[in-house]
Amino acid sequence: MDYSDLIQKLLNGNARAVARLITLVENDIEAAENIINAIYSHTGNAYILGITGSPGSGKSTFISTLTKIYATQGKKIGIICVDPTSPLTGGALLGDRIRMKDNFSLKNVFIRSMANRGQLGGLARATEDAVKILDAYGCDIIIVETVGVGQSEVDIFKSAHTVVVLLVPGSGDDIQAIKAGIMEITDIFVVNKMDLSGADKKIADIMQMLELRMNYKYAFEKVGENNSLKSNWTPEIVKANSITGENFEELIKLIDKHREFLSKSGVIENYQKNRIKSETLQILKHKITKKVEGLISSNPTIDEYIRLVMDKSLDPYSMANLIVKLLGLE
Amino acid sequence: MGEKRKIKVLVCKPGLDGHDRGAKVIARALRDAGMEVIYTGLHQTPDMIVQTILQEDPDAVMLSMLSGAHKALCPVIMEKLNENDIDDVLVSVGGIIPDEDKPFLEKHGLKGFYGPGTELKTIVEFVKNNLKR
């Protein structure tokens, strides 16, 4: 299929073309390849903000308020909201727009809901591609809202320039604050719903956790293992109220500060290198998995291996090694 | 196509009507039938609805109206869709739609008109069988 017409419209700033192209990259991986190939040289101008946090922490409302401020500054904004797909039915209920009503009619704001379609990590397979489409569309800022779950939805760390994590007062005890995962990928912590009691306690918890991390970092540096890409950034903490917009001015200053930090020589380049690496790895994984699945589902040799494993004359690790050889991937 | 194509549906509450139990039940039923459903919340103006359709690119739109404003709002929505060259989306309105209004709405390109008591299965089948693309 030829997408050049749609792509031309996209580059001319046509919103409908954006919507169509995102649908295509969501539904069809081959279309995604062609489209990204055609628009890639037009990307790289947008600043990508990742917003994550547990369900109910106020991500959508937060984004709505942030968007309103950026929109009044005359910026063009793209928003992608990822929600989970039901593992049982394959269906999904995407409700993030409910909280973003105020921005529905703004001409410079493009909001797109996306189901994760079973992908782990907090994003959908097509999220990265959709970000590129919005980038080529001319968005100054692209905000990505991850699925609101748990402590390990950390893929956003690889896709966004600045990762903002939302926490709420009174959620979880102090131990929650030192768990691995989300807490470690954060550039800016926002204690949302600051009017609730316990906001200052939450800030103290985070500060304590960060201090521990600083000590670890020192230890790693000693043994020469410090290769974290944003290693010299000390995460900022701010409390805010997404409904009233209280403290958002400060928050935006912190985002700008992180942006400035990244643009200093070396850091952004390192970041980009890592991003390209991880993205390519993701694509390769997808392709290889597909190939392997195809092979395993219809191959008499594999059936033979499976029988051997059932007879206990072969174990799954050895079988996997044989398949690697068969694929010529050794 | 690599992956199985998903049907994407937008469920909307146009106008000033504040009751969305029905819309939520429909949204849930379509989700359980394996569709990706976007619910926009209450009090949507035609402009907001058309803007959402433009950005989300759904296969079907289900308008839920109990307020009696369907004859005023539905034609405006259809007109604005036309202005934006959106002609491949199934647009359905349901809720409380009197029989005598149905021909008028049909003339404007709307379908469905399911009211209280409709089996959810009927609505799922309706969406699956009336898609325009």
What are phi and psi for residue A79, nearest 5 degrees? Answer: -130, 130
Residues of chain A with pLDDT under 50: 174, 219-230
Distance from CA of B46 to the nearest CA of A (A): 10
Q: How far is it, in rounded angstroms, from Cα A230 to Cα A50? A: 15
Which A positions 142-201 lie with beta carbon below 8 A of chain B?
none
Q: DSSP letters along B36-99, please?
A: EEEE--S-B-HHHHHHHHHHH--SEEEEEE-SS-HHHHHHHHHHHHHHTT--SSEEEEEES--G
What pLDDT is recorded for position B2? 38
**Contact (CB<8Å) B38/A97:** yes
Task: Assess B27–A contact: CB distance below 8 Å, yes or no.
Answer: yes
Give every CB contact of residue A61 below 8 A, 6+ residues apart in sequence: A99, A242, A243
For residue A285, which of A139, A161, A119 has the smallest C-alpha distance?
A119
Domain positions in chain A: 44-264
Pairwise CA distance, residues B92 & B127, whole Å: 9
What's the pLDDT band for B72 if we cut at 50, 70, 90?
A: very high
DSSP secondary structure code for residue A241 in this structure:
B
Each residue's pLDDT tens digit, A78-92:
999 998 888 888 888
Instruction: For an interface test with A, give the residue of B42, B51, B53 to mutate (most A CBs within 10 A).
Output: B51
For residues B62-73, average pLDDT: 94
Domain regions of chain B by residue span:
8-119
B27 closest CA partner among B117, B127, B129, B131? B127
Q: Which residues in B lie closer than 8 A to residue A95 (C-beta atoms)?
A: 38-39, 41
Task: With H, G, I as helix, E, B as strand and everything else as coil, classify residue A94.
Answer: strand
Residue pLDDT, tens place only, A246-274? 999 999 999 999 998 888 867 778 778 88
- pLDDT value at position A265? 65
The H or E element that residue A59 is part of is: helix A59-72
* Rounded average pLDDT over B94-116: 94
- Please tell me if residue A316 touches chain B, with a CB cutoff of 8 Å: no
ipTM, two decimals? 0.89
Under the banding of pLDDT at 50, 70 and 90, the label for residue B122 is very high
| Residue from A100, A104, A145 to probe the interface with B (highest B Cβ count within 10 Å) | A104
Say what the pLDDT of residue A36 is: 93
Using the 8-state DSSP alphabet, how is residue A140 labeled?
Answer: S
A151's tokens: 């402590």
Tokens found for residue B30:
């379509």
**Residues near B88 by beta carbon (within 8 Å), at least 6 away in sequence:** B132, B133
What percentage of chain B exceeds 90 in pLDDT? 86
pLDDT band at B4 (very low <50, low <70, confident <90, very high): low
The CATH number of B8-119, from 3.40.50.1860, 3.40.50.280, 1.10.10.10, 2.30.30.180, is 3.40.50.280
Q: Find out whether A251 and A240 touch, Cβ atoms under 8 Å.
A: yes
Distance from CA of B99 to the nearest CA of A (A): 31
What is the value of pTM for the model shown?
0.87
From the list A19, A85, A97, which residue is nearest B57 (CB)? A19
Q: Which CATH superfamily is domain A44-264 in?
A: P-loop containing nucleotide triphosphate hydrolases (3.40.50.300)
Residue B40 contacts A, CB cutoff 8 Å: yes
Give the sheet arrangement for strand A47-53, strand by strand: A109-115, A77-83, A141-145, A47-53, A162-167, A188-191, A236-239
